[in-house]
Amino acid sequence: MKSFKRIAAILLAVLMAASLFACGAKTEGGDKPAPETAKKYVIASDNAFAPFEYLDTDTNQYVGIDMDILAAIAEDQKFDYEVQNVGFDAALNQVQSGQADAVIAGMTITDERRLTFDFSDGYFDAGQILVVPANSEIKSIEDLKGANVAVKISTQGADYAQSVAEQYGFTVTTYEDSPTMYQAVIQGTNAACFEDDPVARYSIQSQHLELKVVGDVINAKPYGFAAKLGENAELISMFNTGLANIKANGVYDQILAKYGY
Ligand code: GLN
């Protein structure tokens, strides 16, 4: 009986110590008072698509028109978010798999994408253009016969190139992101690539790439902020209201001007 009491006393002491320890641990970790109710949206984006999203190597932060528009709209509409710059194809996949709530990545609004995405109102118009080495003789898509053309996976440029490859007699190689696609053209692995017009021009100029744009802009269409079809309607609606507000108060124009528009 005595030993039973002793064991019980020891057990009680151990339990008390454990609960004290647990309390202590809780207090230590309790310095972030994030209320459970405040939703933090996860927004996926491209990893290299200047001037819309790109790493500022001085600050090690992602900057650009998309990043600034999103920040201004979130401030206007008072929502919390974090951006994951995972690359274009990965961003689309993250939204479809529910790992991210939405994507902002210079993403063209298309009827085909509307089958799987809900889009915001358009916030910038852009089409694709042919990009060739600075010393290339290629002047337009008609000159691509027999050429190997680089594209970036899941983009409008890739879709377009694949849709006309047979007609113009060229083959297509797919790359993961814009920088590797540009390098393939600069180094001569590919004779040309298709890229969004403002991105090609901005990247060539700001990074002094040995490339030039040729021919006409193809399929100019608006970019939109997108969520998985039927999900996050509230977020899309906040984006639209916020976009209208920052257009009305001049912030949208200031953002574009900052990047040369
Ligand atoms: N605007 C193009 C598209 O939607 C390219 C986007 C991108 O590469 N980030 O397909």
CA of 152 to the centre of ligand 1 (A): 8
Give ∠ CA 65-71-72 in degrees, rounded to 5.
90
- Can you give the pLDDT at residue 51? 98
DSSP code of residue 169: T
What domains are defined for the chain? 40-123+224-258 (3.40.190.10), 127-220 (3.40.190.10)
Q: What pLDDT score does 26 carry?
A: 41
Q: What is the pLDDT along the chain (261 residues), one digit of tens a residue?
A: 445 455 444 444 444 444 444 444 444 444 555 555 679 999 999 999 999 999 999 999 999 999 999 999 999 999 999 999 999 999 999 999 999 999 999 999 999 999 999 999 999 999 999 999 999 999 999 999 999 999 999 999 999 999 999 999 999 999 999 999 999 999 999 999 999 999 999 999 999 999 999 999 999 999 999 999 999 999 999 999 999 999 999 999 999 999 999
pTM reported for the whole predicted model: 0.86
Q: What is the pLDDT of residue 19?
A: 44
By three-state DSSP, how is residue 204 classified? Answer: helix
Per-residue confidence (pLDDT) for residue 15, from 0 to 100: 43
Distance of CA 23 to the CA centre of its chain: 41
Task: Indicate which atom in ligand 1 lies nearest the CA of residue 154.
Answer: 10
Atom 10, ligand 1: which residue's CA is nearest?
155
Residue 155, ligand 1, Cβ within 6 A: yes
* CA 100 – ligand 1 centroid, Å: 18
Is the CB of 170 inside a 6 Å radius of any atom of ligand 1? Answer: no
The reported pLDDT for the residue numbered 38 is 77
Helix (H) or strand (E) holding 254: helix 251-258
Q: Burial level of 19, CB count in 10 A (0-12/13-18/19+)?
A: exposed
pLDDT at 107: 99
Measured in angstroms, how far is the CA atom of residue 147 from the centroid of ligand 1? Answer: 23
User: How far, in Å, from the CA of 19 to the mean position of ligand 1?
Assistant: 54
Task: Tell me, in angstroms, the distance from the centre of ligand 1 to residue 107's CA.
Answer: 5
Give the Cα separation of 228 and 42 in Å (integer).
Answer: 13
